[in-house]
């Protein structure tokens, strides 16, 4: 895994020091690739790369890398897991290779088949920027599920791009105007979904997309991003086609797919390990890894002293059963005080999934022994695992029985008594009143789409907390004709998974120069999951039937069957305790007035209520805290 940055100026002679600018951009992502650094500048095009060596540790894997014909130059982040198969196919047709790197294979594929055809052949997690010298075109591309990040901004003079947002801000012509609408969306979900970013004129390339930018006539002509693969299209394709209704057949096919994915993703010329939380997904991936290894693999887990949040003891039992070399670490106050100030630099964009804390800590723990680690992310979204799916399904069954005209009336009423519109009466509002308003929000939903959107939002009209913000469209506003469970899984797979889970994992692990890999997000497994009806996902009345059944063949049920905890943390208590002083400084009314982003009165009252335990506002407060901490670093 690596990181890259670059820009193109339509003036072939760049008015500022291109080498210096690229180096400044790379300085923001040195942690993504501390093993090597390289730049290439020619005719107004500037590429820079930071390398974390995984395959072919020799200088032959250095980037930016040129194709054999010298027509193409690439900077690449990620892994092409099937590069050996592609290499074999290319060698059979006469290609010659100098290195053992997947980057050289990527370039050879593009020379032979072109960009879009090659993207369709790749199995992997990746983002890259490719310059075509012959046609004067820049290509930006991102993997199917969005495991690797890619930001870009069209400038009057060209384009600037990079693996992280901080890279782009180092360009002298970068526009730092904040997007208040995106900030409103951030407060709703705790992250900013693609294609938006915190900056008004900067975008994230969507998963499964590529962007072609033509610079032949001394002007920037950017075609709209095009999808070479679409989760939405895959879901539509298999909604009524090629369904696998037999659980035994589904188990057999999935076993083969996961085994192959784990085998491919275990290829590395550096030490390898796995994250083991004790849950179904991570235990399953670990069990496949261990069964394919001739020696104990390294596994890592994080624990909490509070038993309500601690799964470390379960992870240890599973590690002992599988025979892994297990390492665990229990988070204490010193971890919090040392890690929290680093988060704005690690994420370099507003991000507020509080499990980013233990994720960063477990990544740093793993880096002490390995350079690559596999995780079980994606299982909940693809195989119907979240407990909120069942909870939301049951709630909607009750709400939908209320006549729609009455729900419409409740909806209009709840808007008038919403929490954010009653700041002056806020002191009188306790948990019961707040709970009533949240209930009215649910009862007022006129369709399941808005009902589920409400269930994954901190507050329904939270945008009004951001001065000047308006609601904007996101994946949770998509209308589609699916059964209720499929609707929830699809919405989460298109937004929550790439923009929360995968951002969290990428930045947290890269913060310690560790490569994280996710076998369940192999696109063959993703496509397979969309052929499975809900009746199979929930064959025994519980979610993730297929993953559980595969795991039971490798780990005793008694080690697995327990309530799901997730990677939650005692955030409400921490904000009243170890993190109280840090939070108090960031929520100071004078700094809120100075920044002029949030409603000062509401934030002050919210903080007051949280500290006095009138309400638990930890999730929304964390979003504001992470934003302010990020803003302080700009």
SS (H, E, C) 6-52: EEEECCCCCCCCHHHHHHHHHHCCHHHCECEEEEEEECCEEEEEEEC
Could you give the CA distance from residue 346 to residue 504 in angstroms, rounded to a whole number? 10
What confidence score (pLDDT) does residue 415 get?
58
What confidence score (pLDDT) does residue 411 get?
67
Q: Which residues contribute to the annotated binding site for L-glutamine?
A: 102
Could you give the CA distance from residue 220 to residue 167 in angstroms, rounded to a whole number? 21
Residue 513, phi then psi, degrees to nearest 5: 55, 45
Task: State the CATH architecture for 2-229.
Answer: 4-Layer Sandwich (3.60)
Helices (H), 154-278: 165-169, 180-189, 231-237, 247-265
Which residue(s) pair with 37 in the sheet? 50
The beta-carbon contacts of 398-402 under 8 Å, at least 24 apart in sequence, are 399/442, 399/443, 399/445, 399/451, 400/448, 402/443
Decide: helix, strand or coil at residue 378. coil
Q: Where in the chain is the domain with CATH 3.60.20.10?
A: 2-229
What confidence score (pLDDT) does residue 200 get?
97
Q: Which residues contribute to the annotated binding site for ATP?
A: 302, 375-376
**Model pLDDT for residues 567-586, shown as the tens digit of each residue:** 678 899 999 999 999 999 99
Q: Both tokens of residue 574?
A: 């921490």
Residue 575, phi then psi, degrees to nearest 5: -70, -20
Q: What is the DSSP string of 445-483?
A: --SHHHHHHHHTSSSTTGGGGBTT------GGG------
Could you give the CA distance from residue 518 to residue 524 in angstroms, rounded to a whole number? 13
Candidates 151, 114, 160, 156; CA nearest to 135 is 114
Is the separation of the CB atoms in 329 and 365 below 8 Å? yes
Could you give the CA distance from residue 186 to residue 193 in angstroms, rounded to a whole number? 8
pTM listed for this prediction: 0.94
* Beta strand 272-275 pairing with 372-374: parallel
What confidence score (pLDDT) does residue 438 get?
60
Which residue in the block uniquely carries the two structure tokens 């052929």?
531
Q: Which residues contribute to the annotated binding site?
A: 102, 302, 375-376
**Model pLDDT for residues 77-101, shown as the tens digit of each residue:** 999 999 999 999 999 999 999 999 9
Annotated catalytic residue, options 2, 167, 384, 445: 2
Active site annotation includes 109: no
Terminus-to-terminus CA distance in the chain, angstroms? 26
Looking at domain 233-332+348-385+486-559, does it have CATH number 3.40.50.2300? no
Is the separation of the CB atoms in 607 and 596 below 8 Å? no
Candidates 355, 331, 389, 343; CA nearest to 566 is 355
What confidence score (pLDDT) does residue 428 get?
42
What confidence score (pLDDT) does residue 430 get?
45
Query: Per-residue b/e over 265-289, b at no fewer than 16 CB within 10 Å?
Result: bbbbbeebbbbbbbbbbbbbbbbbb
Could you give the CA distance from residue 388 to residue 385 in angstroms, rounded to a whole number? 9
Could you give the CA distance from residue 593 to residue 595 in angstroms, rounded to a whole number? 6
Candidates 546, 533, 535; CA nearest to 253 is 546
Could you give the CA distance from residue 162 to residue 143 in angstroms, rounded to a whole number? 15
Q: Where in the chain is the domain with CATH 3.40.50.620?
A: 233-332+348-385+486-559
Question: What is the rounded (10 degree) CA torsion for 139, 143, 146, 148?
Answer: -80
Candidates 165, 513, 200, 139; CA nearest to 345 is 165
For the chain, list residues with pLDDT below 70: 1, 12-15, 217-218, 410-441, 460, 563-567
């Amino acid at each position: 895994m690596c990181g890259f940055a670059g820009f193109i100026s339509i003036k072939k002679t760049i008015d500022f020091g291109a080498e210096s600018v690229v180096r400044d951009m790379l300085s923001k992502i040195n942690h993504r690739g501390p093993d090597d650094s390289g730049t290439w500048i020619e005719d107004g095009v500037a590429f820079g790369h930071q390398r974390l060596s995984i395959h072919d540790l020799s200088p032959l894997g250095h980037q930016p890398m040129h194709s054999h014909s010298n027509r193409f130059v690439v900077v690449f982040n990620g892994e092409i897991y099937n590069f050996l198969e592609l290499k074999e196919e290319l060698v059979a047709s006469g290609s010659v290779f100098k290195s053992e790197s997947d980057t050289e294979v990527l370039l050879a594929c593009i020379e032979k088949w072109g960009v879009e055809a090659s993207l369709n052949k790749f199995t992997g997690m990746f983002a890259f920027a490719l310059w075509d010298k012959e046609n004067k075109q820049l290509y930006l591309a991102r993997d199917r599920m969005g495991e690797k990040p890619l930001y870009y901004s069209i400038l009057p003079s060209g384009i600037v791009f990079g693996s992280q947002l901080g890279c782009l801000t180092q360009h002298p012509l970068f526009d730092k105007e904040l997007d208040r609408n995106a900030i409103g969306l951030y407060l709703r979900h705790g992250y900013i979904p693609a294609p938006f970013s915190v900056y008004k004129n900067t975008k994230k390339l969507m998963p499964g997309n590529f962007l072609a930018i033509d610079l032949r006539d001394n002007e920037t002509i950017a075609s709209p991003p095009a999808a070479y693969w679409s989760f939405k299209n895959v879901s539509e394709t298999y909604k009524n086609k090629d369904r696998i209704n037999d659980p035994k057949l589904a188990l057999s096919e999935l076993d083969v797919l996961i085994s192959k994915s784990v085998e491919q993703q275990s290829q590395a010329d550096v030490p390898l390990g796995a994250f083991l939380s004790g849950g179904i997904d991570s235990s399953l991936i670990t069990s496949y890894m261990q069964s394919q290894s001739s020696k104990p693999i390294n596994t890592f887990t994080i624990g909490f002293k509070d038993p309500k949040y601690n799964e470390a003891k379960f992870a240890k039992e599973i590690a002992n059963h599988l025979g892994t070399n297990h390492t665990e670490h229990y988070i204490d106050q010193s971890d919090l005080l040392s890690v929290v100030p680093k988060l704005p630099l690690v994420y370099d964009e507003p991000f507020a999934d509080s499990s980013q804390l233990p994720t960063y800590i477990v990544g740093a723990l793993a880096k002490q022994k390995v350079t690559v680690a596999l995780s079980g992310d994606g299982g909940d979204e693809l195989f119907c695992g979240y407990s909120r799916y069942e909870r939301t399904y049951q709630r909607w069954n009750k709400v939908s029985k209320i006549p729609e005209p009455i729900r419409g009336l409740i909806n209009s009423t709840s808007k008038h008594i919403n929490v954010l519109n009653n700041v002056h009466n806020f002191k009188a509002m306790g948990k019961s009143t707040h709970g009533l308003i949240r209930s009215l929000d649910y009862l007022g939903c006129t369709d399941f789409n808005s009902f589920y959107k409400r269930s994954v939002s901190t507050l329904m009209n939270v945008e009004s907390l951001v001065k000047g913000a308006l609601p904007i469209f996101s994946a949770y506003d998509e209308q589609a004709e699916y059964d209720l469970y499929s609707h929830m899984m699809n919405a989460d797979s298109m937004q929550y998974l790439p923009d929360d889970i995968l951002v969290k994992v990428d930045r947290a692990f890269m913060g310690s120069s560790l490569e994280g890999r996710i076998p369940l997000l192999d696109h063959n497994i993703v496509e397979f999951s969309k052929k499975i009806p809900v009746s199979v996902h929930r064959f025994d009345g519980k979610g993730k039937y297929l993953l559980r059944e595969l795991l039971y063949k490798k780990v005793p049920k008694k080690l697995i069957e327990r309530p799901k905890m997730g990677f939650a943390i005692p955030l409400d208590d921490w904000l009243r305790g170890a993190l109280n002083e840090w939070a108090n400084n960031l929520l100071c009314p004078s700094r809120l007035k100075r920044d002029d982003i949030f409603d000062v009165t509401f934030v002050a009252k919210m903080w007051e209520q949280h500290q006095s335990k009138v309400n638990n506002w930890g999730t929304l407060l964390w979003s504001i805290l992470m934003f302010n901490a990020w803003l302080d670093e700009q």
